[in-house]
Structure 1
Amino acid sequence: MIHIVIPVFNRKEYTKACLVSLQAQTNQSFKVIIVDDGSTDGTEEMLRNEFPEVVVLKGDGGLFWTAGVNMGIRHALKEGAELVMTMNNDVLVDSEMIAQMYRWHKEKPKALLGALELDASNNQPIFGGERLNWKTNTIEHLLQVLPENERKGLHPVTHLPGRSLLIPRVVFDTIGVLDQERFPHYIADYDYTHTARRAGFELFVNYDAKILTYPEESGERQIRSSKTFKNYYKHLFDIKGGGNLRDFTRFTLKNCPPPYVPYHLANGYARRLLGYFLK
């Protein structure tokens, strides 16, 4: 059984829609664990009244994404989980997603599997995996190179986001849980999957497992929506800033091969300092 871990803080409408989409799965062999980090919008009451089957763990309001996910993962592992999926609450799940994850897990039982991401507003693909080349500091976006007739099955990648990430227990037994000390919010999923890959685990995007997301609702998109000095500061230094310089530096020093560190840092700093005004 897959244990699905979803950290939440308010935005109960998204959480409800996510859970309703999970109720519509053709394969119901899963258990949902919500980590509610101090929501004040009625999330707790909604979960209790409308989704009594969901396990709810309570945070103190200071967990952020990574610690919340880790709390749910540890609970799942204590229950004997062999498969854990991390998921964001602003995700809608295609009715075949769980079934397709089980299907391909059987083919690659030790691999980490991500999902094909569609824009909830128009059903168009917006994320299909990436391959990072440390030497050239470039990222190949699979959706830009894969013909439409090849957008099925598994495709290897170098890292994966945590929005709907299937992780076998053997991965946790080998490398532990996510690094919440270095990466309390952003980049923790990319760091974890890079770490897993170095430990010998394969990573794939499962193009047969689909999710729908709201890209304009992300915290970083909100920060970029109004170009102010305050938001620029948040972009570079806030714990939820997508261009957080501290997290990027830690990520590079931990994951980048040593010969390429100086160039990767210099290039990454430039992109974060200047890219805010270009997007």
Structure 2
Amino acid sequence: MLAVLCPGQGAQTPGMLTPWLEIESVAQTLHALSDATEVDLIAHGTTSDADTIRDTAIAQPLLVATAIATGREALAGAAPGLVAGHSVGEFGAAALSGVLSDADAMSLVTVRGRAMADAAAAAEPTSMAAVLGGDAEEVASLLAQLGLTPANANGGGQVVAAGAKSAIEALVAAPPARARVIELQVAGAFHTSYMEPAVQALAAAAQDVVRHQPSATLLSNADGAPVASGDDALSRLVTQVANPVRWDLCMERMLELGVTGILEVAPGGVLTGLAKRGMKGVSAVALKTPDDLPAARELLEAHA
């Protein structure tokens, strides 16, 4: 079975859309997606610098549009067996699985990005940090002592902590034994209670959105479970903003369901890297540039 995966915030890089715009079909899709959002996707994906596209309100629509456009190009009409996305990548996954139209996915993620940026700005200074390695129980104990939330459980010994910036700085200064801590360049403590105002804004925007049954198995970041319906998928997309991402459980579920191949759509690399540690033996292709499309289609033929 082939799983199509959509990366989350932090995967974006300056100029990442430039080579993709040379493919007419991808360019047409990106222009159409740009019309569905308030963000100039083409400009931000080609000429904006790293600081500009780090802005949550820009990064999130840009990532979802890139996932949708490159995913559709790679699949070329074929249906994946399973689709999942990490954090904001869930919106790209919802579109590729048919739960949301491309335009609705873009409209909602635009609200999400802006609302999360606003929630971060309104709160006390907050931040996030990746904790790599260390004993799992010791890491969890230290995070609890510091009042931090394990906002992303990514598997392979990687946890992303989130909370007050002062607590993150304390974690960086005195990491758990045998662990490395890297503070992330993000606007605030995503996937924690600090994001509750963003949940409310997204819920209001989602009320009248048409949702459909997924055409492929769609996994939820909440617990790695397949969503039961379009209503269930949309509800989980809304509440996930203020709740931890359990990517470790998503990888476990993929193995349980018989996934043998992974295609990570652009800007690929992060999730296939996690899969090398958490899903050993599963074939994987990460779409970084159009040069990766032949390998992606070979993967599709072998595992779809």
Q: Is the structural similarity TM-score above 0.5?
A: no
Q: Comparing both chains, which one has the higher relative contact order based on Cα–Cα distances under 8 Å and sequence gaps of 6 or more? A: 2
From the two aligned structures, give the one with the greater helix fraction: 2
Give TM-score scaled by structure 2 length: 0.30
Give TM-score scaled by structure 1 length: 0.32
